[in-house]
Structure formats: C-alpha cells, structure tokens
Amino acid sequence: MGEASRISRYLYTVIVLFAIWLFLTASLDPQELGFGLLLSLIVGAFTYEIFTTNGLANLHPKRIAYAIAYIPYFLWAMIMANLDVAYRVLHPKRPINPGIVECRTVLKSDVGKLSLANSITLTPGTITLDVKGDRYFIHWIDVKDDSIEGASKNITEPFEKFLKVIFG
C-alpha cells in the first residue's frame, strides 16, 4: 500500500474521530479542542489501518450530501413505521400478517450492508434476522409481498438508493 494511501487513511480517521469528539463534547473551548485534536491524532495513528480502506475519498461531496439527506429520510421512514405499528396494535382486529421474507441488496461493501441491516431493524415492524452475502432474511409484521423482488422493493430498496452512494 502506498504512502499517499496511508496518509489519506490516517487523515480521514483523524477527521472522523475529531468530529465525534466535537459532537460528544459540544464545546468550542480552545483547551477542549486542542485535547480532542491531540487525542484524535494519537488514536488515529493506532487505528487508521482498520478504520478505513478508502481514506479521504470517503469525504467526496456527493457522499456527504447523500449522508445528510439520508438522516431526515430515515427519520421520516421511522416515524411512519411507528405510526403504522401503533395503528396495528391499537386496531381491534389487529390487522397483521407476520412472516419472514428474503430480500436482496445491491450493496457491495460490508459497512453498507451493515447500515442497511441496522436501518431495517431500527424501523418498527421489521427486524433483520440474518444476512448471507446479498440476501437478507427479515421478519416483517405485515407481509405485503413474499416474493424476493416484492419484499426487496418494499423493504430494502428505499434505503439502498441513499446507501449505495454513501458506501459505494
């Protein structure tokens, strides 16, 4: 691996760690900023090899824009799923049709697949049970279509349009 790649991966790791520090401390005090930067530089030196393979390429403006857009999209999906589950629980006839469905993903990176699995599980009414390659096995509270294509269209595809740009 080239020296430029190692430096890129190290700088990216430091930037991410420092951003996490800023988020957690919520302080712009110069002493805290200095300590957070120092800590990020030290921790980054020991962890950059396992932290990223792409380095600064992860900070492409298109990826950042999609990541920012994904947050409200995911929150909206979570709110709508919460309302749907609440309706099903409170309805006198409990209109549920639970089942386990198989979905396929177009995502290739492990981090992208992990993010998809977590997004599915954090959305009420669905739980990712297992992931094998590009196949996801999901418990769905109201199976609308048990075919692989239909389940994928309803469950994985809405998230994938963002995640495939963010994670490649």
Polymer length in residues for the chain: 168
* CA 85 vs CA 2, 82, 91, 167: distances in Å: 51, 5, 10, 30
DSSP secondary structure letters along 43-82: HHHHHHHHH-SSGGGGG-HHHHHHHHHHHHHHHHHHHHHH
List residues bridging with 103 in a β-sheet: 136
Q: Parse the chain into domains and list their residue ranges.
A: 6-58, 60-167
pTM of the model: 0.81
Question: Please, which pLDDT band fits residue 61 given cuts at 50, 70 and 90?
Answer: very high
- Report the side by side order of strands in the sheet with 126-132: 99-104, 135-140, 126-132
Question: Please, which pLDDT band fits residue 58 given cuts at 50, 70 and 90?
Answer: confident
